[in-house]
C-alpha cells in the first residue's frame, strides 16, 4: 500500500518551506518515524518523518523547490522492506564511485542509530562516514552535536599518506595563465529571509543608534566571587548575558516605548518582557526568545541561553522557540567586535548591542585608572522612540551593570 508523505505544519503563520536536503533516496528502506527530508523554513530546518515503515518509491519535489504545508513531497510503499534491500543491492552493484558507497554505509549507520539527529549533525555523519551509534553525545539530553561527529572523525584516525619527496620547483600554471575562479552558491531560505527582514527594517523604520560605555568591574567581581557557588547550586555557569538581560528588564519597565512596536496607526505596549537573544547557528543568525525574562532569576535566564546555544549548534531549535519577542540583545563581543550599530528585529523597535570587554584608561575621581570597559549600543525606531527615551533606557542599563545591586532592589 502506498502512503503519501506531506509537508507537516511548520508553525504559526508559516505556510511554506523549501526542500533543503533529501535524506532518503528512491529505493531506500525507511523505518517508521525516520526522517526522509529536511525542510528549510524562514527560521529553522525541520525534519519530515515517515509515518510508516517501507520503501521510498519516489520524490515529488526536488532540492530547492518551495512546497506548501500539506503538499505531497514523497511516496512510501508500506511494508516493502525486503524489496528495498534487493533494489539497494542492485544499485550498489552498478555503482563504482567509492564516495557513493561511503554515503550508503553512513545511511545504514543512521538507520541503526537509536537517536534523532539534526540536519547539521546528519550531514556531518554522512560526510565523514562515522557510525553515530558509537559516539557519545555532549548536547542536551545526550544528543549528538556537529562537534561530536567531527571529533569522532578525527579520532577515527584514517592513516595519513606518507610524506612524499619535495617536488622540483616549477612555474605554477595558474600564475602563467592568470586564471581566476568564481563559485555561485544559492542562498538558503533562512539567509534569504534574514536579508529581506534586515533590508526591510532599514527601509521601513527610522533607525538611529545611541552609544554609551560601561565599566564592567562590578559584574566581573561578582562573577569571580560567586561563580563557583552559583554553578554548584544551579548547575550552570554564571555569564554576562544574565546581567544584561536583567538590566534590560529594568530599562524596559521604566521606558515602555522601548518594549513596544508600531502596528498600522497604533502602538502596541507590553506589560511583559520577552527577550530575543541573537545566536549563531550553522545556517545563519537565529533569535530564540527568553519568555517572561522580567519574572525569571539569573539561573533560569542563564539556563535558557545555554540551552538555546546548544540547540542552535545542533539545529534543533523550533519555530515556537523563535516566535514573538519584544526586545533583542545581540552580543557581537564574542566575535571580538569593539563597536557596531545593530539593526532592529522587526516588528520590535529596539535592540541592544554588546561588544568586547577591554582594559582602557578612564578618569575616576580625578585620577586616570585602568578599567575593563565595554561599549554598548541601542538601535531604535525613531518613529516610536524619542532620543531622550533611548538615551535614558541605555543609561539605566549602564547604571545597573556598574552597580548590580540595583537589579536586586528594582532600581
128 is catalytic: no
Q: What is the pLDDT of residues 227-281, one digit of tens each?
A: 999 999 999 999 999 999 999 999 999 999 999 999 999 999 999 999 999 887 7
Q: The C-alpha cell of 340 is what?
A: 557596531
Do 203 and 314 fall within a single domain?
yes
The larger pLDDT score, comparing residue 125 to residue 57, is at 57
Alpha-carbon gap, residue 197 to 273, rounded angstroms: 22
Q: Which of 71-75, 119-123, 292-296, 372-376 has the lowest mean pLDDT?
A: 119-123
Alpha-carbon gap, residue 178 to 172, rounded angstroms: 10
Do 367 and 245 fall within a single domain?
yes
Q: Average pLDDT of 119-135?
A: 74
Helix (H) or strand (E) holding 101: helix 98-112
Q: Which of 60, 94, 128 is the last residue of a domain?
A: 94
Any domain includes 83: yes
Do 117 and 213 fall within a single domain?
no
Q: Average pLDDT of 53-72?
A: 88
pLDDT beyond 70 at 283? no
Any domain includes 275: yes
Q: Residue ranges of the alpha helices (H) in 282-409? A: 298-314, 387-402, 405-408
pLDDT beyond 60 at 160? no
Q: Which of 156, 171, 186 is the last residue of a domain?
A: 156
pLDDT beyond 80 at 81? no
C-beta of residue 116 within 8 angstroms of C-beta of residue 125: no
pLDDT beyond 50 at 385? yes
C-beta of residue 30 within 8 angstroms of C-beta of residue 56: yes
Mean pLDDT of the chain: 83
pLDDT beyond 70 at 115? no
Any domain includes 179: no
CATH of the domain at 272: 3.30.559.10
Q: The C-alpha cell of 295 is what?
A: 519574572
What's the distance, Cα to Cα, between the start and end of the chain in Å? 67
Residues sharing a CB contact under 8 Å with residue 230, sequence separation 6 or more, in sequence order: 236, 237, 238, 298, 299
pLDDT beyond 60 at 158? no
Task: Determine the pLDDT at residue 113.
Answer: 45
Q: Average pLDDT of 337-366?
A: 94
Tally of domains in the chain: 3
Do 207 and 291 fall within a single domain?
yes
C-beta of residue 267 within 8 angstroms of C-beta of residue 260: yes
Do 292 and 383 fall within a single domain?
yes
Choice among 65, 228, 292, 386 that is catalytic? 386
Task: Determine the pLDDT at residue 209.
Answer: 97
Do 113 and 84 fall within a single domain?
no
Any domain includes 10: yes
User: 201 falls in which pLDDT band (50, 70, 90)?
Assistant: confident
Query: What does each C-alpha distance from 308 to 12, 42, 317, 406 come to in angstroms?
Result: 20, 18, 7, 27
Residues sharing a CB contact under 8 Å with residue 264, sequence separation 6 or more, in sequence order: none
Any domain includes 178: no
Alpha-carbon gap, residue 201 to 376, rounded angstroms: 21
C-beta of residue 43 within 8 angstroms of C-beta of residue 193: yes
Do 69 and 125 fall within a single domain?
no
Do 112 and 83 fall within a single domain?
no
Do 239 and 115 fall within a single domain?
no
Choice among 33, 65, 292, 382 that is catalytic? 382
Any domain includes 174: no
Do 107 and 245 fall within a single domain?
no
CATH of the domain at 10: 2.40.50.100
pLDDT beyond 80 at 389? yes
pLDDT beyond 90 at 172? no
C-beta of residue 43 within 8 angstroms of C-beta of residue 286: yes
Q: Which of 94, 111, 145 is the last residue of a domain?
A: 94
Do 125 and 264 fall within a single domain?
no
Could you write out the DSSP letters of every residue in 141-182?
GG---HHHHHHHHHHH-PPPPPPPPPPPP---HHHHHT----
Task: Determine the pLDDT at residue 216.
Answer: 97
Q: What is the pLDDT of residues 361-373, one digit of tens each?
A: 999 999 999 999 9
Query: What does each C-alpha distance from 369 to 196, 313, 373 come to in angstroms?
Result: 45, 40, 11
Domain membership of residue 75 as a residue range:
1-94
C-beta of residue 73 within 8 angstroms of C-beta of residue 7: yes
Q: Which of 15-19, 40-44, 269-273, 277-281 has the lowest mean pLDDT?
A: 40-44
Do 88 and 37 fall within a single domain?
yes
Any domain includes 284: yes
User: 411 falls in which pLDDT band (50, 70, 90)?
Assistant: low
Instruction: Please report where in the chains the cell 555561485 appears, as a residue.
Output: 184
Task: Determine the pLDDT at residue 175.
Answer: 54
386 is catalytic: yes
Task: Determine the pLDDT at residue 47.
Answer: 83
Any domain includes 170: no
Helices (H) and strands (E) in the chain, counts: 11, 18
Task: Determine the pLDDT at residue 104.
Answer: 54
Q: Given strand 35-40, what is the order of strands in its sheet?
A: 45-49, 35-40, 16-22, 66-68
Amino acid at each position: 500500500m502506498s502512503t503519501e508523505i506531506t509537508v507537516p505544519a511548520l508553525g504559526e503563520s508559516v505556510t511554506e518551506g523549501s526542500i533543503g536536503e533529501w535524506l532518503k533516496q528512491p529505493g531506500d528502506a525507511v523505518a517508521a518515524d525516520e526522517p526522509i527530508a529536511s525542510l528549510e523554513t524562514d527560521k529553522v530546518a525541520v525534519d519530515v518523518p515517515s509515518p510508516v515503515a517501507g520503501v521510498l518509491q519516489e520524490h515529488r519535489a526536488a532540492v530547492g523547490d518551495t512546497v506548501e504545508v500539506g503538499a505531497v513531497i514523497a511516496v512510501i510503499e508500506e511494508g516493502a522492506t525486503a524489496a528495498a534491500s534487493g533494489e539497494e543491492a542492485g544499485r550498489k552493484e552498478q555503482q563504482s564511485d567509492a564516495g557513493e558507497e561511503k554515503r550508503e554505509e553512513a545511511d545504514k549507520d543512521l538507520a541503526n542509530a537509536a537517536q534523532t539527529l539534526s540536519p547539521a549533525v546528519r550531514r556531518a555523519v554522512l560526510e565523514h562516514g562515522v557510525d553515530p551509534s558509537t559516539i557519545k553525545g555532549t548536547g542536551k539530553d545526550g544528543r549528538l552535536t556537529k562537534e561530536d561527529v567531527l571529533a569522532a572523525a578525527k579520532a577515527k584516525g584514517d592513516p595519513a599518506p606518507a610524506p612524499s619527496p619535495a617536488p622540483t620547483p616549477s612555474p605554477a600554471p595558474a600564475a602563467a595563465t592568470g586564471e581566476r575562479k568564481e563559485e555561485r552558491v544559492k542562498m538558503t531560505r533562512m539567509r534569504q529571509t534574514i536579508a529581506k527582514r534586515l533590508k526591510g527594517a532599514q527601509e521601513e523604520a527610522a533607525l538611529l543608534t545611541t552609544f554609551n560605555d560601561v565599566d564592567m568591574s562590578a559584574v566581573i567581581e561578582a562573577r569571580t566571587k560567586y561563580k563557583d557557588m552559583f554553578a554548584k547550586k544551579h548547575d550552570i555557569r554564571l555569564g554576562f548575558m544574565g546581567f544584561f538581560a536583567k538590566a534590560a528588564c529594568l530599562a524596559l519597565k521604566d521606558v515602555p516605548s522601548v518594549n513596544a512596536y508600531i502596528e498600522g496607526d497604533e502602538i502596541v505596549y507590553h506589560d511583559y518582557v520577552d527577550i530575543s537573544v541573537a545566536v549563531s547557528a550553522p545556517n545563519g543568525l537565529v533569535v530564540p526568545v527568553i519568555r517572561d525574562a522580567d519574572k525569571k532569576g539569573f539561573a533560569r535566564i542563564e539556563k535558557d541561553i545555554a540551552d538555546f546555544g546548544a540547540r542552535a549548534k545542533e539545529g534543533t531549535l523550533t519555530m515556537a522557540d523563535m516566535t514573538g519577542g519584544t526586545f533583542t540583545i545581540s552580543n557581537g563581543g564574542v566575535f571580538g567586535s569593539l563597536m557596531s550599530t545593530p539593526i532592529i528585529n522587526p516588528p520590535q523597535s529596539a535592540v541592544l548591542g554588546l561588544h568586547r570587554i577591554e582594559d582602557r584608561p578612564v578618569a575616576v575621581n580625578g585620577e586616570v585608572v585602568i578599567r575593563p570597559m565595554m561599549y554598548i549600543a541601542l538601535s531604535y525606531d525613531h518613529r516610536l522612540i524619542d532620543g531622550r527615551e533611548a538615551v535614558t533606557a541605555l543609561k539605566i542599563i549602564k547604571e545597573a551593570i556598574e552597580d548590580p545591586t540595583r537589579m536586586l532592589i528594582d532600581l
